[in-house]
């Protein structure tokens, strides 16, 4: 898809990958509706984009049904939408037993319920052709200790993307699933990044990820799994999960040491 003049709703735009995605989309000539919880950050981003008059902001907490409904009333959606990018997410790096009920619910509401409900409500407003891009994660195909709830949410988003894409085949709406590996943003905690360094996990910059996301969007690539050896792990986990069990078991004590430092508070809409 050529993004010049296209109307795009980008969720989770006020930080992390979302902020850089907004910059890349605007550079391609898209007209953006930027959703996030932080009004000042959204307005600052809008003003910094090329042709800020082309772009609008929408302040909403997508984990709350009432605020999703408010977003759907935004005038920018009245004339239809060419691209919906479900990017907003939150996570908690902690052993499951150390997470509160609220932390579990927040991940499931924002990472699963919000994109599904938002997509369902916006389907009638999508033009033809149109694209729905769901920003997943490699942890949506490989279960990782310390990320049980986040993995559950991203496995769900992966399944949703695949099933919806098959439902909409031939309709003029394409569903893309784009799955980065670990990315350096405020989404994860410092304990998590220390753990990733300790076990030699590659960490990408949000600029690298956003650039690849735009390429996938323009090429309408249905499935994108970023990074090596992460792509191999996705395949091995599907074909020979016992190999990944063995590998994770070797690392589990080290992962647990960092995960037990305390669950803390995940960043809302950081990605």
CATH number where 247 lies: 3.40.50.720
Using the predicted structure, report yes or no on whether residue 21 has a pLDDT greater than 50: yes
- For the sheet with 56-59, list strands across it: 56-59, 31-36, 7-10, 81-86, 126-135, 173-179, 223-225
63, part of any domain: yes
Mind listing the pLDDT tens digit for each residue in 175-198? 999 999 988 887 888 898 889 889
Q: Specify the pLDDT at position 245.
A: 92
Q: Specify the pLDDT at position 16.
A: 87
- Can you tell me the mean pLDDT for 201-217? 94
* Chain position carrying tokens 């590996």: 181
92, part of any domain: yes
Kindly report which listed range (132-141, 191-200, 255-264) carries the lowest average pLDDT score: 255-264
267, part of any domain: no
Query: Using an 8 Å Cβ cutoff, are 25 and 49 in contact?
Result: no
196/137 Cα distance (integer angstroms) = 15
- Can you tell me the mean pLDDT for 25-49? 97
The pair of structure tokens assigned to 247 is: 């590998």
pTM: 0.94
Residue 146: phi and psi, rounded to 5, are 90, -10
153/266 Cα distance (integer angstroms) = 15
Give the whole-number percent of the chain exceeding pLDDT 90.
Answer: 82
134, part of any domain: yes
Q: Specify the pLDDT at position 2.
A: 96
DSSP secondary structure code for residue 7 in this structure: E
Active site residues: 150
Helix, strand, coil percentages (3-state) for the chain, rounded to 5, are 50, 15, 35
- Can you tell me the mean pLDDT for 110-122? 98
Give the whole-number percent of the chain exceeding pLDDT 70.
Answer: 96
Question: Domain span at residue 14?
Answer: 7-259
More reliable by pLDDT, 265 or 182: 182
Beta-sheet strands, E only, within 37-157? 56-59, 81-86, 126-135
Residue 246: count of CB within 10 angstroms of its CB: 10
2, part of any domain: no
More reliable by pLDDT, 113 or 188: 113
39/50 Cα distance (integer angstroms) = 19
268, part of any domain: no
53/46 Cα distance (integer angstroms) = 8
> 146 Cβ partners below 8 Å, 6+ apart?
93, 94, 95, 192, 195, 255, 256, 258, 259
270, part of any domain: no
Mind listing the pLDDT tens digit for each residue in 97-112? 999 999 999 999 999 9
- Can you tell me the mean pLDDT for 232-258? 91
**Count of the separate structural domains present in the chain:** 1
Q: Specify the pLDDT at position 268.
A: 43
25/219 Cα distance (integer angstroms) = 14
Q: Specify the pLDDT at position 187.
A: 80
3/168 Cα distance (integer angstroms) = 21
1, part of any domain: no
Query: Using an 8 Å Cβ cutoff, are 63 and 106 in contact?
Result: yes
> 166 Cβ partners below 8 Å, 6+ apart?
none
């Amino acid at each position: 898809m050529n993004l010049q003049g296209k109307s795009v709703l980008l969720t989770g735009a006020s930080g992390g990958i979302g902020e850089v995605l907004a910059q890349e989309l605007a550079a391609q000539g898209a007209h953006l509706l930027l959703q996030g919880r932080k009004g000042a950050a959204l307005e600052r981003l809008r003003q910094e984009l090329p042709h800020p008059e082309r772009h609008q902001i929408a302040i909403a907490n997508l984990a709350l049904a009432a605020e999703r409904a408010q977003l759907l009333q935004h005038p920018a959606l009245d004339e239809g939408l060419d691209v919906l990018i479900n990017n907003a997410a939150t996570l908690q790096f902690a052993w499951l037993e150390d997470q509160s009920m609220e932390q579990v619910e927040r991940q499931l509401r924002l990472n699963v319920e919000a994109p599904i409900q938002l997509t369902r409500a916006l389907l009638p407003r999508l033009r033809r052709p149109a694209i729905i891009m769901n920003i997943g994660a490699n942890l949506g195909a490989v279960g990782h200790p310390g990320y049980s709830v986040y993995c559950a949410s991203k496995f769900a988003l992966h399944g949703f993307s695949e099933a919806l894409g098959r439902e909409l085949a031939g309709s003029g709406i394409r569903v893309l699933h784009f799955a980065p590996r670990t990315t350096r943003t405020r989404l994860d905690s410092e304990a998590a990044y220390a753990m990733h360094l300790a076990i030699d996990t590659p960490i990408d910059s949000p600029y690298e990820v956003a650039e690849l996301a735009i390429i996938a969007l323009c090429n309408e690539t249905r499935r994108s799994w970023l990074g090596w050896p992460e792509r191999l792990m996705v395949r091995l986990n599907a074909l020979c999960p016992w190999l990944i069990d063995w590998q994770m078991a070797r690392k589990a004590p080290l992962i647990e040491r960092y995960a037990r430092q305390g669950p803390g508070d995940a960043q809302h809409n950081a990605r």
